[in-house]
């Protein structure tokens, strides 16, 4: 936090500008570290009574705008968990096969530990498929060790 008692501040700008710059820097740091660091960002976003509005606005994005895994990583997680491809597990086709459902390869939302893909199953139901991020199992161990 910065209090500046000079008649003309060296860096100019308002306290709101300072909060905005600080929020952006912290947001970028936590987002690039991912995992539990994104959870810290989510906790910051929920502190509406004590955090400046610039932090609240910036960190609200932590809830569903985290970095996404590539489709290859999503496919690998599904194969490791189920022993089958996404097409086999969910009955979908990415080539428009008749009688199969469809699934989006790009996530609709991405948070700290998982991302959500939209799909329409062969019976017509629309579902959200939540897939844990590939690196989370290993990263949680590191993060918990670092927090000790």
| Helix and strand numbers, DSSP H then E, in the chain | 6, 4
What does the pLDDT look like over 56-110, one tens digit per residue?
888 888 777 778 899 999 999 999 999 999 999 999 999 989 999 999 999 998 8
Predicted TM-score (pTM) of the model is 0.67
Percent of the chain with pLDDT over 90: 40
What does the pLDDT look like over 97-140, one tens digit per residue?
999 999 999 999 888 788 999 999 999 999 999 999 887 777 77
First to last CA, the chain: 26
Would you state the structure tokens that stand for residue 124, as one six-digit string? Answer: 């017509």
Q: Domain ranges for the chain, please list them.
A: 15-63, 71-147
H or E element in which residue 80 lies: helix 71-82
Find, among 125, 129, 140, the residue nearest to 107 by Cα. 129
Q: Highest-confidence range of 12-16, 46-50, 116-120, by mean pLDDT?
A: 116-120
Find, among 42, 80, 33, 32, the residue nearest to 63 by Cα. 42
Residue 11, SS3 per DSSP: coil
List, in sequence order, the alpha helices (H) in 2-70: 15-33, 36-45, 53-59
Give yes or no for residue 6 having a pLDDT over 60: yes
Give yes or no for residue 141 having a pLDDT over 80: no
């Amino acid at each position: 936090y910065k209090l500046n008692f000079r008649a003309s501040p060296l860096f100019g700008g308002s306290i709101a500008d300072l909060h905005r710059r600080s929020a952006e820097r912290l947001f970028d740091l936590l987002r690039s570290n991912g995992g539990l660091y994104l959870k810290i960002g989510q906790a910051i976003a929920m502190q509406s009574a004590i955090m400046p509005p610039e932090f609240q606005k910036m960190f609200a994005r932590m809830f569903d705008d985290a970095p996404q895994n590539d489709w290859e990583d999503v496919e690998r997680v599904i194969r490791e968990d189920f022993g089958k491809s996404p097409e086999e597990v969910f009955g979908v086709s990415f080539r428009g096969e008749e009688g199969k459902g469809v699934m989006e390869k790009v996530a609709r939302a991405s948070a700290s530990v998982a991302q959500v893909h939209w799909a329409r199953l062969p019976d017509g139901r629309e579902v959200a498929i939540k897939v844990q991020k590939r690196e989370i199992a290993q990263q949680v161990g590191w993060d918990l060790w670092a927090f000790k």
